[in-house]
Amino acid sequence: MPTKRVVIISDATGQSGLHILRAALVQFEHAHPRIMLFHDIDSKAGLKKVLDQARADKALIAYTFVKKEMRDYTTAFCVKNNIFHLDILGPLIKNLASYLRLEPLETPSLLRKVDERYFKRIDAIEYTLGHDDGRDANRLDDADIVIVGLSRTSKTPTSFFLAQEGYKVANVPIVPGIPLPEELFEIDQHKIVCLVIDPEVLQKIRRARQEKSSLTPSYSEFKKVFAECEYVWDLRKKHRIWKVVDTTNKSIEETAWEIIHHVFGDQPEEYN
């Protein structure tokens, strides 16, 4: 018995057609057709070549064109040549247009752009995970934003919120008596943000944290907390180019958007 063939044709990646086809094929236990995917077909001349070959191979043709003229051309060819065919996107786009009372954009690869933004967020999250609390300082230059601040000033949660928005964020703890990594001063200083907080509020946060952990009693002593805040104040005076964000009584979201505004001004289009 000759091998059955299925040809998938798309003006984008064709992955949606491939996924749908595979989902359907699992219902046919002994079916193992040869699947051929032709992607980024954006001209009738290129389409005609694929269709002619599919006809010669007696293949089933499935297609995911967003442009109506390409769908119509393929349908007409298949009907004329008595070829099994399936317009995967056409009926759905037509019904959505009727229901939404809107005209489709008919722009290929829009989903690919969405996917690119998704993977950019994944990369940002992975980077941020690997650069939490001062880790891997030798790659600070790859960060979009570098956050510095005392313990319990919301460095980590703010970093991960920003990462979900697509920003690669490193955060570096400020600990009096322990030098900041040299790499911090070798990168673009405009992307460094120093988080500050009211000492009394910081003391309350640390005290609450202390109750749930085995931190030393001095961790939340006001004298120590105040001295640390003074240390950060002196550090800021030495590095006036750093952006400063006060996190006192602010939500993580408020802090994050303030950081974005300080570092980038209006939010860059690629992160929308």
Output the tens digit of pLDDT for each of the chain's 272 residues: 678 999 999 998 888 899 899 899 989 988 889 999 999 999 999 999 999 999 999 999 999 999 999 999 999 999 999 999 999 999 999 999 999 999 988 888 776 666 677 788 889 999 999 999 999 988 999 999 999 999 999 999 999 999 998 999 999 999 999 999 999 999 999 999 999 999 999 999 999 988 888 888 899 999 999 999 999 999 999 999 999 999 999 999 999 999 999 999 854 433 33
pLDDT value at residue 270: 39
Q: Which residues pair with 164 in a beta bridge?
A: none
The strands making up 60-64's β-sheet, listed across from edge to edge, are: 34-38, 5-10, 60-64, 85-87
CA 264 and chain centroid, separation: 18
pLDDT value at residue 113: 65
Which residues, in sequence order, are CB contacts of 83 under 8 Å at separation 6+?
Answer: 54, 55, 59, 60, 61, 77
pLDDT value at residue 117: 74
Is it true that 5-108 and 113-271 share their CATH fold?
yes
How many Cβ atoms sit within 10 Å of the Cβ of residue 228? 18
Question: In terms of DSSP bridges, do strands 243-246 and 192-196 run parallel, antiparallel, or are they unpaired?
Answer: parallel
For the structural domain made of 5-108, what CATH number should be given?
Answer: 3.40.50
Instruction: Report the candidate in 235, 149, 139 with the shortest Cα–Cα distance to residue 187.
Output: 139
What sign results for the dihedral spanned by CA atoms 6, 7, 9, 12? positive
CA 257 and chain centroid, separation: 17
Q: Where are the domains of the chain?
A: 5-108, 113-271
**Overall CATH class of domain 113-271:** alpha beta
pLDDT value at residue 269: 37
pLDDT value at residue 193: 97
Which residues, in sequence order, are CB contacts of 122 under 8 Å at separation 6+?
Answer: none
Start-end of H helices in 3-107: 15-25, 44-56, 68-80, 90-100
Which residues, in sequence order, are CB contacts of 146 under 8 Å at separation 6+?
Answer: 140, 169, 170, 171, 172, 184, 187, 191, 192, 193
Q: Give dist(CA 19, CA 42) in Å, integer.
A: 21
pLDDT value at residue 63: 97
Q: Are 61 and 9 in contact (CB under 8 A)?
A: yes
Which residues, in sequence order, are CB contacts of 85 under 8 Å at separation 6+?
Answer: 60, 61, 62, 63, 74, 75, 78, 79
pLDDT value at residue 114: 60
Query: What is the separation, in whole angstroms, between the first and last Cα of the chain?
Result: 53
